[in-house]
Amino acid sequence: MKSRWRLPLRTLALGYLALLVVIPVGSVFYRAFQHGFVAAWDAVTTPDALHALWLTILVVLIAVPLNTVFGVGVSLILARHRFRGAWLLDAFVDLPLAVSPVIVGLALVLVYGKTGWFGNWLAGHGIEIIFSFPGIVMASATVALPYVVREVLPVLQEIGTEQEQAATTLGASSFTAFRRITLPSIRRSLAYGVTLTTARVLGEFGAVVIVSGAIAGKTQTLTLFIQDSIDNLNPVGAYAGAVILAIIALVVLTVLGADSEGRRSTWRSRSDQSPSDSEMPLPSTTSILTSPMDR
C-alpha cells in the first residue's frame, strides 16, 4: 500500500495497543508503588500473601512436572504410533483450550466434590480434593494440559524416527536413545511448552476459584489473593500481587521471544538438509494461539 497510509495505520495500531494493553498494565505498576515501595512490600509480605505466593509456587512445582511428563508421553504416542482413535486423544488433550476455566472447575467438583461421582469413596478414604490443595493442582494441571503437547508434537513429527533408529543400531537402548537423541532434539520446544504451562498454572483463576474455596491462608493462591484483596478493599495488596504475576508474565514473554528468535536462526542454518527439514514448525506462540482444536 502507498506510504501515505503508513503513518496513520501505525498510529492507529500503536494507539489501540497503548490504550488496551500498555497503559493499563503500566498503571498497575504505578498503583502498586504509588504509596512507596515499602507499602507494596508490606502488602505482599503479610502472612496471607506469603502463604498465597508459597501455595502458588507449590502448585507450579507439582502441576508443571506432571504435565510435562504427560505432554511428552502423549506427543511420543501421537507422533510414533498410528492407531484408531488417535485423533480423539489429540482432541481431548486440546479440549481444555476450548472450555471455560470455570467449567473445568465445575467439572472437577462434579467428579471429586462431596456430592460428586467419587465423593463418597474419597471421603471414606479420608481424601480431600475439592476445597483443598489437590483440587487446586488438578484444576491448574487441567487448564494447562495442552501446552506441552502443542509445542512438542510438531517437532517430534518433524524430526521423525530415523535418528532414534540410528541410535538403536549403534547399540543404544530405547531409553538411552530417548535421553541422548530425542530429548536434546525437542529441548527447545519442550522448554517453550513448559514455560507456557508455567505461565498458565501461575495465573489460573477461574478453575481454581471454584475448586479451592479460597480460604485465606489455606487454599488461596496468588490470583485468588488478588481478587480477595480487591473485595476487601486492600488495593495495594492486589496491585502488589498483580505486579508479581505481571513481572513473571514479562519474564515469560522475554523467554519466549528470545527462544523463538534462536529457534528461527537454527532452522535457517538447517535449510540445506533433506526435504522434510524445510517444513519447519511455526514459531510457537502462533501455533498455540491459532490452533486449539484442529490439527
Partner 1 sequence: MGPSGGGKSTLLRVVAGLESPDSGTVEIDGQDLTGVPARQRGIGFCFQHYAPFRHLTVRRNVAFGLEVRRRPKAEIREKVDELLELVRIAHLADRYPSELSGGQRQRMALARALAIEPKVLLLDEPFGALDAQVRQQLRVWLRELHEKISVTTVLVTHDQEEAMEVADRLAIINEGRLEQIGAPAEIYDKPDNEFVMKFLGPATELDGVWVRPHDLVIHNEPGIGGQGALVERITHLGFEVRVDLKLDDGSSTWVQLSRGAAAELDGVPGDQVWVSRATPSKRHESLTEVVG
Partner 2 sequence: MAKATGPALIVTYLSLLVLLPIAAILSKAFSNGFGSFWTAVTQPEAVAALKLTLICSLLVAAFNSVAGLVIAWVLVRDEFPGKRVVSAVIDLPFALPTIVAGLTLLTLYGPDSPFGINVADARIGIVLALAFVTLPFSVRSVQPVLAELDRETEEAASSLGASSSVVLRRVILPSVAPAMLAGAGLAFARAIGEFGSVVLISGNLPFKTEVASSWIYSLSQSDQLSAAAAVSTVLILIALVVLGAIGLVRRRFNVGEAV
For residue 167, the minimal CB distance to partner 2 (Å) is 17
Q: Whole-angstrom Cα distance, residue 125 to residue 122? A: 5
For residue 252, the minimal CB distance to partner 2 (Å) is 5
Of 45, 173, 232, 286, which lies in the binding site for partner 1, with binding defined by CB under 8 A? Answer: 173
Q: Whole-angstrom Cα distance, residue 13 to residue 2? A: 17
Q: Per CB under 8 A, does 40 bind partner 2? A: no
For residue 75, the minimal CB distance to partner 2 (Å) is 10
**Tell me, what amino acid is at 209?**
V
Q: Per CB under 8 A, does 274 bind partner 1? A: yes
The CA dihedral of 63, 66, 67, 72, to the nearest 10 degrees, is: 160
Q: Per CB under 8 A, does 191 bind partner 2? A: no
The 231-250 contact track toward partner 2, x by CB under 8 A, reads -------xx--x--xx--xx
Q: Which is nearer to partner 2, 149 or 181 (CB)?
A: 149
Q: Are 52 and 225 in contact (CB under 8 A)?
A: yes
How far the first Cα of the chain sits from its last, in Å, is 34
Q: Which is nearer to partner 1, 6 or 179 (CB)?
A: 179
Residue 165's binding partner among partner 2, partner 1, none (Cβ under 5 to 8 angstroms by kind) is partner 1
Q: Per CB under 8 A, does 73 bind partner 1? A: no
- Ranges within 124-153 binding partner 2 (CB under 8 A): 138, 141-142, 145
- Ranges within 179-208 binding partner 1 (CB under 8 A): 180-181, 184-185, 187
Q: Whole-angstrom Cα distance, residue 56 to residue 216? A: 13
Which position has the grid cell 498503571?
27
Of 46, 163, 227, 287, which lies in the binding site for partner 1, with binding defined by CB under 8 A? Answer: 163
- Region near partner 2 per CB under 8 A, out of 35-43, 47-55, 268-276, 281-289: 281-289
Q: Per CB under 8 A, does 199 bind partner 2? A: yes
- Region near partner 2 per CB under 8 A, out of 40-48, 110-118, 159-167, 181-189: 110-118
Which position has the grid cell 523463538?
260
Q: Which is nearer to partner 1, 46 or 168 (CB)?
A: 168
- Ranges within 50-89 binding partner 2 (CB under 8 A): 66, 70, 73-74, 76-77, 89
Q: Residue 204 to residues 153, 191, 223, 227, 248: CA-CA distances in angstroms? A: 24, 20, 7, 12, 13
Which residues here bind partner 1, judged by CB under 8 A? Answer: 159, 162-163, 165-173, 176, 180-181, 184-185, 187, 269-270, 272-274, 276
